[in-house]
């Protein structure tokens, strides 16, 4: 495993972050049960992964519970645990969603309890909240830091002007600053390169892409996307996502990933992960896995060397695609 620091902070993270959106107690379709989740987390730790991403809304809190349950068997200070707030945890309660002081303080307590931890290393706002002034959100997160409940704060998908406003608000009022951006970015969806990534680079903000493998689309040949449980569910229930990847030149890029994988004698997933690791300013992609084999391949991808020609060949077919992932 390789390690780096998260943006301008001094906090070390593994270059492979493990996403836990599909972890929970009971299996549901492509989502894993407690035993499968535990096996993957334990194997990730064996392989040197130190960076774990969850959210209050993942599997309605089960993801945080399972992650906390496994990490409780280890020394807490070895790991960087990231979670998120914004999504609704109770459709009947308007204060169980969003980024108001009331919602954040309640949800933070709930996340800490589910994780069984006293402090969250990276507390991220999952989206922008149009109903709450960003100064209220930042003041609340700043207070949580002073109470020792949160070490660093981060943000996830939003427009670059909103993120710039948040950074400016922190600077203006002397509040904690977001140190990371978790955004939708992968070889077939690169709209973030227009505004958000240059902003992050300029501001020393770490970049930790979500769905870095385009939800599995770049891990197997184009025609085979629906061949897994997740792929078939995504194809049926969310064809818009697949359409976004196709609009970005996805089919050609998918075939080129396969060609380069054959040349290097590795899997398509490994080429896609290596693409992230060779692309500035990515700190660590947050990879989703549904098996131990996926995880082992992800970690081994740290050793895949792509040439400038490989990268140019992968990047050349990309075309502008509709923005996806802010909502
Ligand atoms: N901030 C946000 O708004 C946000 C949004 C989405 C996700 N996330 C975070 O990002 C994490 C990852 O999201 P994601 O699951 O959509 O990401 P992803 O890494 O783009 O896709 C994961 C899928 O890729 C396939 N895959 C992974 N490794 C493989 C391998 N070695 N060989 C073949 N197939 C492989 C698997 O598909 P199959 O299961 O079909 O085999 C797996 O389910 C989440 O767990 C979560 O922590 C954050």
267 in contact with ligand 1, CB cutoff 6 A: yes
297 in contact with ligand 1, CB cutoff 6 A: yes
70: left (phi over 0), alpha (psi -120 to 50) or beta: alpha
Residue 214 is assigned to a structural domain of this protein: yes
Instruction: For residue 97, name the pLDDT band (cuts at 50, 70, 90).
Output: very high
Residue-wise pLDDT tens digits, 60-85: 999 999 999 999 999 999 999 999 99
| Residue with CA at minimum distance from ligand 1 atom 4 | 210
Residue to mutate, 183, 211, 296, 298, ligand 1, most ligand atoms under 8 Å from C-beta: 211
State residue 237's pLDDT score: 87
| Contact status, residue 268 vs residue 225, Cβ threshold 8 Å | no
Which residues does 307 contact at the CB level (< 8 Å), separation at least 6?
none
170 in contact with ligand 1, CB cutoff 6 A: no
Residue 186 is assigned to a structural domain of this protein: yes
CA dihedral of 90, 93, 97, 98, whole degrees rounded to 10: 170
Distance of CA 155 to the CA centre of its chain: 10
| Contact status, residue 265 vs residue 256, Cβ threshold 8 Å | no
Structure tokens at 131: 């109903």
Structure tokens at 161: 């002007």
Instruction: For residue 174, name the pLDDT band (cuts at 50, 70, 90).
Output: very high
The C-alpha atoms of residue 100 and residue 98 are separated, in whole angstroms, by 6
| Residue with CA at minimum distance from ligand 1 atom 23 | 216
* 54: containing domain: 3-315
State residue 11's pLDDT score: 98
DSSP per residue, 89-140: S-TT-GGGSSSSHHHHHHHHHHHHHHHT-S-EEEEEESS--TTS-HHHHHHH
Q: Name the average pLDDT for the chain.
A: 97
C-alpha angle 310-314-315 in degrees, rounded to nearest 5: 115
Residue 112 is assigned to a structural domain of this protein: yes
State residue 241's pLDDT score: 81
State residue 326's pLDDT score: 83
Query: Ligand 1 mean position to 54 CA, how many Å?
Result: 12
Residue 323 is assigned to a structural domain of this protein: no
Number of domains in the chain: 1
State residue 234's pLDDT score: 87
Residue to mutate, 52, 55, 163, 213, ligand 1, most ligand atoms under 8 Å from C-beta: 213
Candidates 3, 58, 74, 313; catalytic one: 58
Q: Are strands 51-53 and 150-156 parallel, antiparallel or unpaired?
A: unpaired
CATH of the domain at 155: 3.20.20.100
Residue 304 is assigned to a structural domain of this protein: yes
Instruction: For residue 55, name the pLDDT band (cuts at 50, 70, 90).
Output: very high
Place of tokens 């997933």: 269
Among 103, 113, 95, CA closest to 141? 103
Average pLDDT over residues 30-34: 96
| Contact status, residue 23 vs residue 66, Cβ threshold 8 Å | yes
The C-alpha atoms of residue 98 and residue 90 are separated, in whole angstroms, by 11
Which three-class secondary structure state does DSSP give residue 179? strand
Residue-wise pLDDT tens digits, 197-253: 999 999 999 999 999 999 999 999 999 989 999 999 988 888 888 888 988 899 999
CA of 61: how far to CAs of 7, 124, 128, 144, 323, in Å?
28, 15, 21, 20, 28
State residue 202's pLDDT score: 98
Residue 251 is assigned to a structural domain of this protein: yes
Which three-class secondary structure state does DSSP give residue 146? helix
H or E segment to which residue 296 belongs: helix 292-300
| Contact status, residue 231 vs residue 206, Cβ threshold 8 Å | no
Residue-wise pLDDT tens digits, 271-295: 999 999 999 999 999 999 999 999 9
74 is a catalytic site residue: no
| Contact status, residue 1 vs residue 49, Cβ threshold 8 Å | yes
Place of tokens 């709209």: 191
Average pLDDT over residues 168-180: 98
Checking if the pLDDT of 314 tops 80, the result is yes
Query: Ligand 1 mean position to 214 CA, how many Å?
Result: 7
19 in contact with ligand 1, CB cutoff 6 A: yes
Residue 169 is assigned to a structural domain of this protein: yes
Residue 320 is assigned to a structural domain of this protein: no
Tell me what percent of the residues of the chain surpass a pLDDT of 90.
94
211 in contact with ligand 1, CB cutoff 6 A: yes
């Amino acid at each position: 495993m390789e390690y780096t620091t998260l943006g301008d902070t001094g906090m070390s993270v593994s270059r492979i972050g493990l996403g836990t959106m599909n972890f929970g107690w009971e299996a549901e379709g492509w989502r894993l049960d407690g035993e499968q989740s535990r096996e993957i987390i334990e194997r990730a730790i064996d392989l040197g992964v130190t960076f774990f991403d969850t959210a209050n809304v993942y599997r309605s809190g089960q993801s945080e519970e399972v992650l906390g349950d496994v990490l409780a068997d280890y020394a807490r200070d070895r790991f960087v645990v990231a979670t998120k707030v914004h999504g609704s945890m109770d459709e009947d309660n308007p204060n169980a969603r969003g980024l108001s002081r009331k919602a954040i303080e309640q949800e933070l307590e709930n996340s800490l309890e589910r994780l069984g931890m006293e402090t969250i290393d990276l507390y991220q706002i999952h989206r922008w909240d149009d109903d709450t002034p960003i100064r209220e959100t930042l003041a609340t997160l700043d207070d949580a830091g002073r109470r020792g409940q949160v070490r660093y704060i981060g943000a996830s998908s939003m427009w670059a002007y909103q993120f710039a406003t948040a950074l400016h608000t922190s600077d203006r009022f002397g509040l904690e600053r977001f140190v990371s951006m978790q955004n939708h970015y992968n070889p077939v969806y690169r709209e973030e390169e227009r505004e958000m990534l240059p902003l992050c680079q300029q501001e020393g903000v770490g970049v930790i892409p979500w769905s870095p493998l385009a939800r599995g689309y770049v891990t197997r040949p184009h025609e085979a996307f629906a061949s897994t449980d997740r792929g078939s569910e995504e194809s049926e229930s969310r064809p818009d996502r697949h359409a976004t990847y196709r609009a970005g030149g996805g089919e050609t890029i998918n075939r080129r990933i396969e060609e380069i994988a054959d040349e290097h004698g590795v899997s398509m997933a490994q080429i896609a992960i290596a693409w992230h690791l060779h692309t500035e300013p990515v700190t660590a992609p947050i990879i989703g896995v549904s098996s131990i084999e996926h995880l082992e391949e992800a970690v081994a991808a740290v050793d895949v060397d792509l040439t400038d020609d490989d990268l140019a060949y992968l990047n050349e077919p990309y075309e502008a695609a509709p923005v996806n992932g802010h909502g």
